Amino acid sequence: MALVAALVLSLGTGAAASVAAPAKAHTTPAQHRAAAKKKAAAKKRAAAKKRAAARRRAVARTKAAAEKAAQAASGVKELPVTFTVRNTNTSLVPCASDGKTYEIKGHLVGPKAKLAGGGATGVALYVHGLGYGEFFWDYQGLPGYDYAAIQARDRGLVSVAIDRLGYGASGKPDGNDVCYGSEADYLHQIVDQLKSGRYAAGDADASTGPSFGKVALVGHSAGGFMVEGAAASYKNVDALITAGFSNAPTGLPTYAALTQTTIDCMTGSGLPNHYAYFGKTEADFRAAHFFNADPAIEDAIAKRRAPDPCQDTGSAIPAVLIDVLSNNTIKVPALLVNGGNDALFPPPDGDLEKSLFLGNPDLTQTTIPGTGHAVTFGRTAPQFRATVGDWLVKRGY
């Protein structure tokens, strides 16, 4: 028995060894050369792709520089501006703010003659939504997307684009200490400063900025809450425009992003100082914001997406309630622009928003086909500029 067991064990061990250690495959010289050739080809393709991307970036920089030079030659001027505001909330929208003083940074863009001689009777103040910054309205990274400069060159319009509190070069309060109500408040402060000229422009002191007889407020996406809140609360706005916005969103991505952002803010899994992304990943951002956009601009903007103060999304419900109750008190000229393919505010959101302005004597709602949420960065950006720009020109801006 011991001999049989030893024999079985010996055979089993040998079989296992033969399975565990099969004969090593032999690579022929031809196979080796083919593998090396394939590796070299892949390396060559990667290098060519890298060179092509570098050429595209260089071409884009050259075109952007040429566009800026052309705008300067056509008489377009851009001045840095600073508005000193208090983060108070005296608006109709109930939410908390810290009451502290901050600086809002941005740029004043318009025809040189109007800015130098005070010939501009009106200016539009542009407010970005969640995930963006001043660059949504004043973008110089790639040619063809500098909304403010193109409006100045083509239509003679004067624009102010700002970084809201918490974004870009502007002051950064704790994300729980700024909200849609306080943002409406400081927008009304900026409107007063634009009318009085009491703000810093270029190298001048705070009392020598150009003054304007009337100010239009323009808000994209969540910026719509702020401009509508300011118009309803303070009555010092002369025209109102919303783009890619509605108080009755029907897009499922809107609620998905709102839910995720709320969770991140409540659990502290967002970013420091109570900030979080509206749309957790870059892929979420792309899906929600872009439709029919050039991949180059989509890539460039997606890389610049910004986190948002938690109380922006946290104050959305009271902002909706106040807008529903008070938008019918807004009697200044109003334009509501929506994208036909906006994932966050799809049709019929524009018509739903229009219904809140009943009794407004100068109300226009338009939906631009083939347009996503990022209205200034799609291939239909010229149509969007024409829609807004021509409307402003007809009303004396």
Task: Provide the whole-model pTM.
Answer: 0.83
Give me the phi and psi of 243, to 5 degrees please. Answer: -135, 130
Q: Which two tokens stand for residue 5?
A: 């067991």
pLDDT tens-place values along the chain, 397 residues long: 333 333 333 333 333 333 344 444 577 877 777 887 888 777 877 776 677 656 655 655 655 565 556 555 569 999 999 999 999 999 999 999 999 999 999 999 999 988 886 667 899 999 999 999 999 999 999 999 999 999 999 999 999 999 999 999 999 999 999 999 999 999 999 999 999 999 999 876 656 789 999 999 999 999 999 999 999 999 999 999 999 999 999 999 999 999 999 999 999 887 999 999 999 999 999 999 999 999 999 999 999 999 999 999 999 999 999 999 999 999 999 999 999 999 999 999 999 999 999 999 999 999 999 999 999 999 999 999 999 999 999 999 9
132 in Cβ contact with 68 (< 8 Å): no
Give a yes or no: residue 8 inside a domain.
Answer: no
What is the crossing angle of helices 147-155 and 381-394, to 10°?
Answer: 50
Give a yes or no: residue 314 inside a domain.
Answer: yes
Give a yes or no: residue 136 inside a domain.
Answer: yes
Strand-pairing partners, residue 82, are 105, 200
Give a yes or no: residue 29 inside a domain.
Answer: no
Q: What is the structure's pLDDT at 40?
A: 78
Give a yes or no: residue 46 inside a domain.
Answer: no
Residue 282: give the domain boundaries.
61-394
Question: How many other C-beta atoms can be found within 10 angstroms of the C-beta atom of residue 327?
Answer: 23
Residue 131 belongs to a domain with what CATH number? 3.40.50.1820
Q: Which two tokens stand for residue 264?
A: 């991140």
The amino acid sitting at 159 is S
* H or E segment to which residue 35 belongs: helix 29-73
Residue with tokens 């704790």: 174
Tell me which DSSP letter residue 136 carries: G
Specify whether the backbone of 342 is left (phi greater than 0), alpha (psi in -120 to 50) or beta: beta
Give a yes or no: residue 13 inside a domain.
Answer: no
Name the 3-class secondary structure at 122: strand
Give a yes or no: residue 356 inside a domain.
Answer: yes
Q: What is the structure's pLDDT at 34?
A: 80
Provide the domain count of the chain: 1
251 in Cβ contact with 245 (< 8 Å): no
Q: Can you spell out the DSSP letters for 303-347?
A: TT---EEHHHHHTHHHHHHHHHHHGGG--S-EEEEEETT-SSS-T
Give a yes or no: residue 348 inside a domain.
Answer: yes
Q: Which long-range contacts (CB under 8 A, 24 or more apart) does 206-209 make?
A: 206/82, 206/84, 209/81, 209/108
CA distances from 261 to 109, 159, 288, 301 (A): 34, 32, 14, 20
Annotate 264-282 with b (16+ C-beta within 10 A) or e (fewer): bbeeeebeeebbbbbbbee
Dist. CA 167–CA 172, nearest whole Å: 7
Torsion angle defined by CA atoms of residues 302, 303, 304 and 306, in that order, rounded to the nearest 10 degrees: 80
Dist. CA 77–CA 115, nearest whole Å: 8
Q: What is the structure's pLDDT at 55?
A: 62
Name the 3-class secondary structure at 170: coil
Q: What is the structure's pLDDT at 45?
A: 79
